Chain A
Amino acid sequence: MSVTTTTRETTGARATVSTLERLGYRLQRLPLHLVIAIFIAIWIVPTLGLIINSFRSVQDMSSAGWWTVLFPPHGFSLASYQQVLQTENVATSIVNSILITIPATVIQLAIATMGAYAFAWMKFPGKDLFFIVIVGLMVVPIQMTLIPVLQIFKATGLAGTFIAVWLAHSGYGLPFEVFLLRNYLGGLPREIFESAEVDGAGHAVRFLRIAVPMTVPAIASLTIFVFLGVWNDLLVSLTYLGSSPNRPFTVVITQLVTSLGGGWQFLTAAAVLQMSLPLAVFIFLQRYFVRGITSGSVKG
């Protein structure tokens, strides 16, 4: 941002800065601000509308649009939240979402870090080939794996259990995580590992005492992404949990949408509850979030 503003200020300073010219400059830039305002409105208003609607009673919602609350009588109510939490499965499914998300995140990151260390700091035959396969797997659509994995889960009796989704999420997430962590680990200074080796530290010590602590920033960014990815996932849970009592929040919301007349009115409250966690994570951990995105996609 500073880049262009500074250049503009210097060119502006060179010209004689009369108030009239400054006004002209302001006017010239009015369309720019207007276009930006329109973009911001399109990207903010829909979410805002939903949040406002979630705090209105069902009767109000069906008799007038959400924007009417801007004028009195406002008529706010928590009825939707009360009702949605009393709706069968919803409260349980929120707990399920947490019980699915945390273990799935921990499992895959633990395994990925260990694998990434091997790819970054060990030499072995087939290493390059293995890694190219991992790079390739990053883009393979999970649809390609649903049927055989479902069959495995059915055969082992895991279908419909938390363990099934933990394992499946871990398998799907690993290629990207190994790729990213290996790049990060590989960028650590070689001297540290060599001097530790000279001091007689084995790989276990080098990994646990040096590699892992130094990779914490990368792991932190990745944790946020994996966590939100699993929390927001629909397809994996829909396939392996389906209608099991262990199904997460996203699946229950989707089933409320498709079951006509079921709980359509309370969906506003359900959706707000579902997205409140990702929004909170984004707002409070913004820096990690953006850093993770930029390092993940435009590497090198």
Chain B
Amino acid sequence: MDQIITAVVAVVGVPLVLFGYIILGERVIERLPESLQGWIRPYFWALPAIGFATIFMVYPLVKTVILSFRNNADTTWVGWDNYQYFFTFPDTLTSLRNSMLWLVFYTFFSVFLGLIIAILLDRVRYESLAKIAIFLPVPISAVAASIIWKFMFDYQAPGTVQTGTLNALIGTVGQGPIPWLVNSTTNNAALIFVGIWSITGFCMVIISASLKSISTEVLEAARIDGANEFQIVRLIVTPLLWPTITVVGTTMIINALKIFDIPYVMTSGAYDTDVIATQMFRQLATSHYARAAAVGVVLFVAIVPLLVVNIRRFQQQEEQR
């Protein structure tokens, strides 16, 4: 009951407090001399947002970098020790390798399938209905998606009834059941597939939106010149969609590096399925803060190039405004 009251107070109270902050603050600022007003007002308005960003993102970022060079109790500097641990310990190296696998396969297939499905659906009448089907996993949480696929990959000993859809399916062609999530040759692929399955709809929607903006005249001209559909897709559509594909691809790379929920829920990182983010969480949960910080920094360093790309793109857009 107390919790509900707190929540209601927060929902009503926060906008009210901000409302009061604006009204009262503006009253005070309007009394100030003209020159001072221009100085103070913008900071007054941006203060809550900047404050939140500083406390929850900027300060922790700096702090994590510092912590990664210190011992666990945060009392002395230890140089590169935490990083040395990360790059020599077999378990963390496995997580690094798996994150690379995610980076390559998750990014490639989610964008590629998104593109293919967008192009295919563009040619049929039931496009909007089919899109809903492909998009359905996007709003579903990674936790629920993991459980959906845990049942799909379910394994029973050979000779017993296979209740998992995949093993029952391969059983119909005489193939014995495969422990998908335990077998180290299939488990990473299985997890990455679940990731692709949940995000392809997202890629498809964005690529499809930009596909609709390609002028029909260009495609018509190509058809008159005798180009077949494959040539049109490869030589005209894909190059025209390239800017969109790179934007979606960048987002997918960031997703791939941050991926946490799917491995955590489906295997808890067991059987060599750990990724950087689950590895980091394990260090954190076992109070190895300094090591966890170093893992976090490795993740961040991997994302920095994309951060630069994003800022560049933003600056280009600003120039066009």
Contact = CB atoms under 8 A, between A and B. Distances in A.
Interface of A: 1, 3-7, 11, 29, 32-33, 35-36, 39-40, 42-47, 49-50, 53, 61-67, 95-96, 99, 102-103, 106-108, 110-112, 114-119, 122-124, 127, 130, 132-150, 152, 162-163, 166-168, 170-172, 174-175, 178, 186, 202-204, 207-208, 228, 231-232, 234-235, 238-239, 246, 250, 253-254, 257-258, 267-268, 270-272, 274-275, 278-279, 281-282, 286, 289-290, 293-294, 297-300
Residue of B60, B117, B142, B281 with highest tally of chain A CB at under 10 A: B60
Interface in B104-139: 117, 120-125, 127-128, 130, 132-139
Interface residues of B, number: 120
A217 B133 CA distance: 26
Contacts of B42: 118, 122-124, 127
Contacts of A116: 49
A35 B120 contact: yes
Contact of B125 (A5, A112, A168, A299): A5
Given A7-B220, A36-B124, A232-B141, A171 B57 contact: yes
Given A40-B130, A115-B48, A274-B144, A294 B205 contact: yes
A114 B18 contact: yes
Interface of B: 3-4, 6-7, 10-11, 14-15, 18-19, 22-23, 26, 30, 38-39, 41-43, 45-46, 48-50, 52-53, 55-61, 63-64, 67, 117, 120-125, 127-128, 130, 132-144, 146-152, 161-165, 168, 197, 200-202, 205-206, 209-210, 212, 214, 216, 219-220, 223, 244, 247-248, 251, 254, 257-258, 260-261, 264-265, 268, 277, 280-281, 284, 289, 292-293, 295-297, 299-300, 303, 306-307, 310-311, 314-315, 317, 320-321
B56 A168 contact: yes
Given A53-B151, A268-B151, A250 B247 contact: no
Nearest to A205: B26
Given A40-B130, A102-B7, A140 B317 contact: no
B205 to A, nearest CB: 6
Given A162-B3, A271-B143, 13 more contacts: A1-B212, A65-B161, A103-B14, A108-B52, A139-B307, A140-B57, A171-B56, A208-B22, A234-B265, A235-B261, A274-B143, A289-B139, A293-B206
Contacts, number: 346
A300 B18 contact: no
B208 to A, nearest CB: 9
